[in-house]
Every structure is written in structure tokens, then in C-alpha cells.
Amino acid sequence: MKLSVRFAGAAAVAALLATACAPATSGTSGSGEDERTGTLRVWLFQEVNNKPKEEVVDRVLAGFEKAHEDTEVSVEYIPVETRAQRIKAAFNDPKSAPDVVEYGNTDTAGYVKDGGLADVTADFSAWDEADDTDPTARRSVTVDGKVYGVPYFVGVRALYYRTDVFRELGLDVPKTQDELIATARKIRAARPGMYGLAVGGAYTYGALPFVWANGGELATGKGGSYAAAVDSPAARKGIAAYTSLFGDDNCPAATCAGMGGNDTVTAFASGKAGMAIGGDFSHQAVEAGKVKGSYAVVPLPGVEAGEIAPAFAGGNNIGVLKSTSHRTLAVDLMKRLAAKKAQEELFGAMGYLPTFTDVRQDVAKKEPFVKPFVRTLAAGTRFVPASPAWAQIDSSLVLPTMFQEIVSGKKDVAGASADAARKMNDAFGSAG
């Protein structure tokens, strides 16, 4: 088995510069070949602590190579931050492209439009493990009814809160969003040096549950036809609820307007916040912070008592490139990398939630911290529009700009959401 390779030194810089300048692809056709021997190239994302992931992957590769004689696999771990340039460049250059690739689940529609991912609908349907895939995860690999990969792991957010602070102040765990906002202000009033609920103007996926819980949507439509809905009355109500948390009575706008998700989790982990909206993937960071042993997690409450606010279902997928000359082998490797056994091992190594509902229930029994996130998933999650325009909307910071304009006082909710809707519709229109 070939060892995983990494970028290093001048070669890495040269490769990165070359891919950053690559032209946009207009579509890639399959090679038409289906070789059953040789070397398969795989690109996976480089994690902050990558060794545990490598160990899981290496076990999968050992089984694959044992099952396929005269076949070996070369794995390269690529930086997440530059994935778009590298992967799109690979679509244009099949000779240097991988056969199998890990990609963010919000990237699916864009990569399909670029013509880079292979349609594996029939392969997915024939996979005996596919029936247990979470419905939202399944949607993240689906564009216009066709499947372009398999879900690798899923991530959702819930409410972290300080058990010691709640006990000392005699506070109850909030059961509605109104109670959440009121509780945040009580904490801030009693502990002026602490945020009640750490929020961020650049924390899109922490804000969206407020929009969704109030009946709002990012956009309406499907396939190649979407229209922005962030300026609807329901969406505006959710936006108003979230932005009301910015101020001296909770999280001062001067500081919190520029904060992103990592900033809010860091504030909580360091003891500077009574509550925060964090992911299952935030658990290790919180455990390593000052609040270890003094916090708990519950699903983020909805508008009414007993409701769970819909969370964004983030995560990654594994796909096969259309240009591969090893299609059958590549599909088999894709399935092995994202199989139930591999996902369970990946959870143990990295804490990433499995995309299979049965496996997720099993790991929740073993690890209590997973339970509120599993409950959140079971209550129903949401996803971004399955449009190639989403990449432009996201990279252009349309939603963070909207939130920041409101909390800074530059625009009211109606004006900022109308501007955001216009920008989103421009992107949807240009995406075709």
C-alpha cells in the first residue's frame, strides 16, 4: 500500500498557484475506460489532527487492495481551504485528477454543473447499506434526482450551556427561543464580563436555525430554478430574533458582529460565554477548554416548547470523478470508504457523526454527548439550495453581510434582507 502523501515546501506552493489559476471547466466527459488493475488516486481532506483519520483510511485501503489483486491506492490529503481550486482544476485535467474524492456536501451542485462528478445513481441504489442512509444526507449527494456520491459524515449544531452558571444563577434550561434570548440577557446582567449567548454576525449556520424555526426559508424552488426567500415575513421574523442577541445586553455588536462559528465556540470553551451554538464536531475543543466538566448540551429550542429548531446538516461526501479510467474499482472504493464499519471507526477516531441512522443510534448509546445531536437530526434538518449558485452566495458572504448590516444599525431587517434576496437571485440567475 502506498503511504498517504502531503503537500510540503515549494512544490506545494507551485501546485497551489497552478490550480488557483486554472480556467473554469465547461464539463468533463467520462474516459470510457474501466480498467480493473493499476493505481487509483484518492484525494481526502486534511484534518487538524489527521493521524486518526489516516489510520481508519489505511485499514479500508488494506481491505480494498486485498480484494483486488494488482491494484494499489495512492492517497493525498489536501487542504480544505483550497479544495475548490484543486478539485475544479482536476475536472479540467483528467491526467492529474484523482479517481475518488472527498468533497463538502454544499459543493455537490456546483461540481455536478462543472461536469466533474460521475453519476452513481444505479450503484447507490444497488448498495445494500444505502437504505439506512439519513434522508438529509442522501439529499446532499442528489441533484435533479441523480446521485453523485455517498455521504461520508454529517455534522449538526446544538446548544452548549454552562451548568455551573445556570445553577449559581438559578436558571432553567430554555425551552423556547424567547426563553433562550431572555436567559442570555439574564446571564449577561448577572455576569457583565460574560456573553449570555455567544453569537456571531459571520456565523451563518448558527443563525439559520432561527430563520427555519420561524417558518422561513433561504430559497424556494428546486433543480435549476430557485428564488430567494430570506426577505419573506417568516424569514424576517427569524432574522430579527437572531440579530436581537447583538447588543450590550448579551453580545456587544462591536465585538460579536465579526465573529464566526469557531469564535463563538472558543468564547464558550474559554469560559467567556454562558451559552453557545456549537456542533458535535466542537466537542473536543470544548473538552479541552476551561469549562470541561461544567457544561451540558441540549438541542437548540424552537419557537414553541417541545420543538427543536431545525439545524443545518453539514458534512462531507465521497464521490467518483467522471474522468476515471477505473470506474468499477473507484465505485467499490468509494463505498468502502463510506461504509458503516468505516463510518463507525471514523466516529471513534474523529468524532464525526455517521450518516447511517442505525450506526448513529449505536454510537449514541456508547457516547452520551452524541445524544442531543442525534435528537436534533431525528427532529429534521435543513440544507442549502441544491444549486451551483450556492457556492457564489456563500463565498460572497451574502448572509453574513446581511446580519452585520442589521446589527451595526446600517440597515433594518427589511432593507438588509431585501438586499440579500436581490444578491441571491442574481446568483441563481447567473447559475442558469
What does 145-191 look like in DSSP terms, one character per residue? Answer: TEE-SEEEEEE-EEEEEEHHHHHHHTPPPP-SHHHHHHHHHHHHHH-
pLDDT surpassing 90 at residue 343:
yes
**Residue 397: pLDDT over 70:** yes
pLDDT-based confidence at residue 160 (cuts at 50, 70, 90): very high
Task: Supply the DSSP symbol for 130.
Answer: G
Q: How many Cβ atoms are within 10 Å of 76's Cβ, its own excluded?
A: 17
**What residues contact residue 134 under an 8 Å CB cut-off, 6+ apart?**
151, 154, 313, 355, 356, 357, 360, 377
Whether 43 and 5 have beta carbons less than 8 Å apart is answered as: no
- DSSP code per residue over 81-114: GGHHHHHHHHHH-GGG--SEEEEEGGGHHHHHHT
- Band (pLDDT 50/70/90 cuts) for residue 7 is very low
Alpha carbon 323 to its chain centroid, in Å, reads 26
For residue 418, the number of C-alpha atoms closer than 13 Å in the C-beta half-sphere is 5
Q: Residues 6 or more apart from 103 whose CB is under 8 A from it?
A: 83, 87, 111, 149, 316, 317, 318, 319
Task: Give residues with Cβ within 8 angstroms of 310, minimum separation 6.
Answer: 209, 212, 213, 302, 379, 380, 381, 382
- Min mean pLDDT across 196-205, 253-262, 280-289 is at 280-289
**Close Cβ partners of 126 (under 8 Å, ≥ 6 residues apart):** none
- As a whole number of angstroms, the distance between CA 86 and CA 80 comes to 10
pLDDT at 27 over 60: no
> Over the stretch 207-238, which tens digit does the pLDDT of each residue have?
999 999 999 999 999 766 899 999 999 999 99
Distance CA 402, CA 418 (A): 9
All three cell numbers of 430: 447567473
State the average pLDDT over residues 139-167: 95
* Residue 54 pLDDT class (50, 70, 90 cuts): very high
**Mean of pLDDT over the chain:** 90
In this predicted structure, the answer to whether residue 17 has a pLDDT above a threshold of 70 is no
Average confidence (pLDDT) over 133-143: 91
Residue 128 has which C-alpha cell? 445494500
Which candidate, 29, 431, 418, places its Cα nearest to that of 223?
431
Q: What mean pLDDT comes out for the span 103-130? A: 95
- What mean pLDDT do residues 88-100 have? 93
Res 31: pLDDT: 59
Mean pLDDT of 176-204: 97
On the question of pLDDT at 391 being above 60, the answer is yes
Q: According to the model, what pLDDT value does residue 3 have?
A: 38
Distances (CA, A) of 359 to 47, 51, 153, 264, 299: 23, 23, 11, 30, 20
- In sequence order, which residues have a C-beta less than 8 Å from that of residue 42 and are 6 or more positions away? 73, 74, 75, 76, 98, 99, 100, 101, 333, 337
